[in-house]
């Protein structure tokens, strides 16, 4: 029987994360680090957290961290990384469809290269937003649609190969329309995050606060 898109996607990440080396390194994403250090620690949700580098960093800043991903291999490495750094994180093995967090229970959400299937992205963003408290902050960095035009040092560093899975400023304005925008930009940067984020990159960055209804 042919595997579904979800099963193939899960297999991809389990294969990548099964390697003893950390695919994206152990240090946090620099943009995430810069903005998280400006916030008062509280509860943070880390979707598609992979091997845990950003969740562990948040825990080191005394955040109460809840993370999730579809990859069991990623979860194993994330929990080991937490032990290595003498912190604790909650890490669930599940997809976005399976989430059941309490509404308005998080002070921040970190979306770092969390690329979802194009036909699900906006729906997933709205679900995640429902878990964020009014006044809570979203920190997002992801590959922009212009990434497809860039020749990276390592072709695997280029992110999804499907245009619809990449981000644009206009799409983020729609998905986070009820947010006060603190930063929204597209930039060319040089990534140096392990084996798979290593080279030229076109990224979209967003930081926003959820407005009270």
26-73 pLDDT per residue, tens: 999 999 999 999 999 999 999 999 999 999 999 999 999 999 999 999
**Spatial CB neighbours of 24, under 8 Å, sequence gap ≥ 6:** 50, 51, 53, 193, 194, 195, 196, 197
- Share of residues in the chain with pLDDT > 90 (%): 75
CATH number at residue 84: 3.40.50.150
Q: In this structure, how many other beta carbons lie within 10 angstroms of the beta carbon of residue 163? A: 11
* Domain, as residue range, for 111: 5-210
pTM: 0.93
Mean pLDDT of the chain: 91
Q: Write down how long the chain is.
A: 213
Of residues 26 and 194, more confidently modeled: 26
| Interstrand relation of 132-143 and 64-69 (parallel, antiparallel or unpaired) | unpaired
pLDDT at residue 85 tops 80: yes
Q: Are 166 and 115 in contact (CB under 8 A)?
A: yes
CA–CA separation, 189 and 210 (whole Å) = 27
Model confidence over 118-159: pLDDT tens digits? 888 999 999 999 999 999 999 999 999 999 888 544 455 567
Q: Into how many domains does the chain fold?
A: 1
């Amino acid at each position: 029987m042919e595997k579904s898109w979800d099963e193939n996607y899960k297999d991809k990440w389990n294969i990548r994360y099964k390697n003893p080396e950390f695919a994206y390194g152990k240090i946090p994403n620099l943009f995430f680090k810069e903005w998280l250090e400006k916030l008062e620690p509280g509860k943070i949700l880390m979707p598609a957290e992979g091997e845990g580098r950003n969740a562990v960093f948040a825990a080191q800043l005394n955040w109460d961290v809840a993370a999730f991903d579809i990859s069991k291999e990623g979860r194993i490495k994330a929990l080991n990384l937490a032990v290595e750094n003498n912190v604790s994180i909650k890490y669930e093995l599940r997809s976005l469809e399976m989430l059941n967090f309490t509404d308005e229970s998080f002070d921040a959400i970190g979306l770092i290269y969390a690329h979802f299937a194009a036909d699900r992205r906006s729906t997933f963003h709205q679900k995640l937003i429902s878990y964020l408290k009014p006044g809570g902050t979203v920190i997002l960095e992801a590959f922009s649609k212009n990434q497809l035009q860039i020749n990276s040092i390592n072709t695997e560093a280029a992110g999804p190969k499907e245009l619809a899975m990449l981000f644009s400023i206009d799409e983020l304005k729609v998905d986070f329309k009820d947010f006060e925008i603190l930063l929204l930009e597209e930039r060319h940067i040089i990534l140096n995050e392990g084996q798979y984020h290593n080279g030229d990159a076109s990224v979209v960055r967003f930081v926003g606060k959820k407005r009270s209804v």
